[in-house]
Amino acid sequence: MVSGVFHTSYESDMALRRTPAQKIRIALFILFILVFPFFANKYTLTLANQIAIATIGAIGLNILTGYTGQISLGQGGFMAVGAYTAGLLTVRLGMPWWLSIIIASLVTAVVGAIFGIPSLRLKGLYLAIATLAAQEIILWTVTHWKGLTGGVEALVVPDPRLFGLRLNADFNFYWLAWALAGITALVTLNLFRTHYGRAFIAIRDQDIAAEVMGVNLFRYKLLAFAISSFFVGVSGALLAHYRSIVTWERFTLDVSVLYLAMIIIGGMGSVSGSLFGASFMTLLPAFLTNMGRALRKVFPAINAIMPFIQEATFGLVIILFLILEPEGLKKLWEDIKDYFRLWPFSY
């Protein structure tokens, strides 16, 4: 009988996959990801692709906000940098899509690091406002620098192709998006097994103590911004190639708030939490809309107020989650695991 997971050696404590059960679960999850598209229809594939892109973006934000404790309201802006860079490189320079994604991510990393400079002096709410400025500045630039981005006009990106296959078809894109989501998760999990990751966590927990221990705050905060923005750039660039069209309206402040909600609901400072949060925030509106449509057919009288019921339910579910499980879906998942692990002696 086990009463919990305890590590008796540093090796097992530091291991990427700590228990055999975890290995089985990951194997099952990967199996599911591999099998899913063959059973899915266009709609569920679209949802799955949106989740993959959101997961990459949420992991990126989680590195900065969840692991390093630097709140960011600039997510939408950074995604815009990734999307527009990838789009422009492909349209103007005729660059292949894969190269444009890599360069766009690097450019976003640099832009993120630049907007991360104020983080050395600013914390908490003040940093939130500084990153809000980043969001506004980037979007203003995108909509007003007509010579570069085309300003008002949406940027139409040619279809990404690989060996004659149209990669932005839902089925084909699925493999690219989930492969990149997997790589992002793996890199991030490993990042927090290195001294860089430990420095980030030290900054989050107590920045002064971290500095006393020899963590160069300026360097590591900028690094956190850069690494985080890199992944956010990946998700933005993927979005550009998936939708073949880049418009500013996809990257508004709403998006920044949505991603913050994802990591708060999913679980701060957790890769699996990012996946949970991204899935939840993508599937909940879809679920509510479908419920709404079904209800509308049964009770035509509520037709007029249905949208408001949906919006209110969305808010209510989020509030209830935060009250009942402030540590997010990740904690809920752990509770479920513990329940079965300790059964029948759970208390």
141 is an interface residue for other proteins by CB under 8 A: no
Helix (H) or strand (E) holding 3: none
According to DSSP, the residues that pair with 156 across neighbouring strands are: 245
Let me know: does 244 contact 91? Beta carbons within 8 Å.
Answer: no
Report the nearest approach of other proteins to the CB of residue 29 (Å): 8
Q: List the x/- string, 23-52, binding to other proteins by CB under 8 A.
A: -xx--x--xx--xx--xxxxxxxxx--x--
Q: What's the token pair of residue 82?
A: 């990734």
Q: How many CA atoms lie within 13 A of 233 on its CB side?
A: 25
Please tell me what DSSP assigns to residue 158.
P
* Shortest Å, Cβ 6 to other proteins: 16
**The one segment of 186-194, 226-234, 262-270, 339-347 that binds other proteins by CB under 8 A:** 339-347
Residue 123 is classified by DSSP as -
DSSP bridge partners of 155:
246
Site string for other proteins, 245-264 (x = CB under 8 A): x-xxxx---x----------
Query: Which ranges of 206-270 would DSSP assign to H, the alpha helix?
Result: 207-212, 217-243, 253-266
| Smaller CB separation from other proteins, 198 or 337 | 337
Minimum CB–partner distance for residue 101 and other proteins (Å): 18
| Binds other proteins (CB under 8 A): choice among 6, 163, 299, 340 | 340
Does 129 engage in binding with other proteins (CB under 8 A)? Answer: no
By DSSP bridging, strand 165-166 and strand 245-246 are: unpaired
Task: For residue 344, say if its preceding peptide bond is cis, omega within 30 degrees of 0.
Answer: yes
Beta partners for residue 161, in sequence order = 166
- Residues near other proteins (CB under 8 A) are 2, 20-21, 24-25, 28, 31-32, 35-36, 39-47, 50, 143, 151-154, 156, 159, 170, 243-245, 247-250, 254, 282, 285-286, 289, 292-293, 306-308, 310-311, 337, 340-341, 343
